[in-house]
Chain A
Amino acid sequence: GIQVEQSPPDLILQEGANSTLRCNFSDSVNNLQWFHQNPWGQLINLFYIPSGTKQNGRLSATTVATERYSLLYISSSQTTDSGVYFCAVNTNAGKSTFGDGTTLTVKP
């Protein structure tokens, strides 16, 4: 099956810093999503981004499907950005494969 690798596994930032999270996948995908799992365990949809670039406030994402990777950018990080960021790829039959996530800690 498809392999999904996220990097870095852990990231510690000071409030106000910028960061880039990466998601590599081993095969062609139909679509890709980024999620934020907050400290209470809730999975929050960030981006549905099969290709191209999208922006939502301080967050933006870029997927280059031909090169099999996606990037999530967080600018001017806040403590509320802390949590785990997952990417999930969808190949066929609607099924998704998740990466192991990047744990982000933003310190005040």
Chain B
Amino acid sequence: DAGITQSPRYKITETGRQVTLMCHQTWSHSYMFWYRQDLGHGLRLIYYSAAADITDKGEVPDGYVVSRSKTENFPLTLESATRSQTSVYFCAFRTSGGAGEQFFGPGTRLTVL
């Protein structure tokens, strides 16, 4: 157990609905990340955060919103879900500021109908 949890683990929703995926770390690491993994591919960075109230876009940010009011939580919101957002979403933190090792949560499998 790396000390990072995600909820829900599975979610089915419909096109156009708002969905929020939760991520919580039991530590107080500064850097946290959201990735998506599409079938048969590697992970692509959606958003990341260097500290509470500091967030920045990754490689594929369109259609997503993040916030980080507390260091330990980093929720990801799909404002109006689309079928192309069907994916597995992974949250992660990095130790030692921006230079350390990255640890991942168990993932959330999201299906948009």
Contact = CB atoms under 8 A, between A and B. Distances in A.
A73 B50 CA distance: 33
B60 interface: no
A86 interface: yes
A42 interface: yes
Contacts of B41: 100-101
Contact of A94 (B59, B90, B98, B104): B98
A3 interface: no
Interface residues of B, number: 28
B101 interface: yes
Contacts of A86: 42-43
B102 A93 contact: no
Interface string A19-58: 0000000000011010100000111010010000000000
Interface of B: 2, 31, 33, 35, 41-45, 48, 50, 56, 58-59, 88, 90, 94, 97-104, 106-107, 109
14 contacts: A41-B88, A41-B106, A41-B107, A92-B98, A93-B50, A94-B31, A94-B48, A94-B94, A94-B97, A95-B48, A96-B33, A97-B45, A100-B41, A100-B42
